[in-house]
Amino acid sequence: MAAWGERLAGVRGVLLDISGVLYDGGEGGGAPIVGSVEALARLKRSQLKVRFCTNESQKSRGDLVGMLRRLGFDISEGEVTAPAPATCLILKERGLRPHLLIHDGVRSEFDQIDTSNPNCVVIADAGEGFSYQNMNKAFQVLMELENPVLFSLGKGRYYKETSGLMLDVGPYMKALEYACGIEAEVVGKPSPEFFKSALREMRVEAHQAIMIGDDIVGDISGAQRCGMRALQVRTGKFRPSDEHHPEIKADGYVDNLAEAVDLLLQHADK
């Protein structure tokens, strides 16, 4: 593999995944990943532009940022690209009224959305909300529509909490796709539209941007397909087998965000 100087040359903007990179969620709000609070602070003091690009869909952006600030991270709401606000824009543009299968923590993001007489379904990481009853209700709504439309806020397979691996929204999206014979529209990583909106908001071109994430599909492959570079951290949901994936190869593997920031500050934008 080429030297880091070559791999990171010309990087002007950094997109950061949140869960598994900054912190691991879990009981009591979770815990920062060692070195990440300080690494983010260093990154933000540099000349590099920074934006957060998350598939978090259990919490509103406000709650997410509040929680991260309490953990010590320098982050504000306006710096976060998240799927719930992006979905609301799409629903409004297309005049759609969703049945929501979502976590109570993110419900406030949909306050301005008409949910009467639903003509589509929106699912997000609902956690315990993915009961049989709730899944069946979403299924029945879709089956009663002539043209069933399903939005999924991300399609992650699982994420890591302090207590272990947890099923994310993706498996439940697949369940409804199979049950109804349809294909969901994914809002969030690895959808190219989602990465592009994050790049627009950061005002950096794809070839000048690098994604740092723990998800080989959502973060690494997704960003690379948009023309970005991508570093995978060995934290969060990272598994050693990721480094031997037959098709997806990150532009680099680092132990954690702290190592990524060390390398970026040394080699980027040179």
78 binds a second copy (CB under 8 A): no
d(CA 208, CA 10) in angstroms, rounded, equals 6
Distance of closest approach, residue 166 Cβ to a second copy, in angstroms:
6
Give, in order, the Cα–Cα distances in Å from 61 to each of 41, 81, 84, 121, 135.
20, 9, 8, 21, 25
Question: What track of x and - describes contact with a second copy for positions 102 through 131 (by CB under 8 A)?
Answer: ------------------------xxxxxx
* Dihedral sign, Cα of residue 213, residue 215, residue 221, residue 222: negative
Q: What is the DSSP letter of 61?
A: H
Note whether 236 and 182 are within 8 A (CB).
no
Listed in sequence order, the residues at least 6 apart from 58 whose beta carbon sits closer than 8 Å to its beta carbon are 103, 105, 106, 124, 125, 126, 127
Q: Which residue has the tokens 């539209």?
A: 193
167 binds a second copy (CB under 8 A): yes
CB atoms within 10 A of CB 83: 27
246 binds a second copy (CB under 8 A): no
175 binds a second copy (CB under 8 A): yes
Distance of closest approach, residue 129 Cβ to a second copy, in angstroms:
7
The residue range among 11-19, 21-29, 88-96, 157-165 that interacts with a second copy, by the rule CB under 8 A, is: 157-165
Distance of closest approach, residue 132 Cβ to a second copy, in angstroms:
4
Distance of closest approach, residue 144 Cβ to a second copy, in angstroms:
9
Nearest to a second copy of 116, 241 (CB atom): 241
Q: Which residues bind a second copy (CB under 8 A)?
A: 126-133, 135-136, 139-140, 143, 157-158, 164-167, 170-172, 174-181
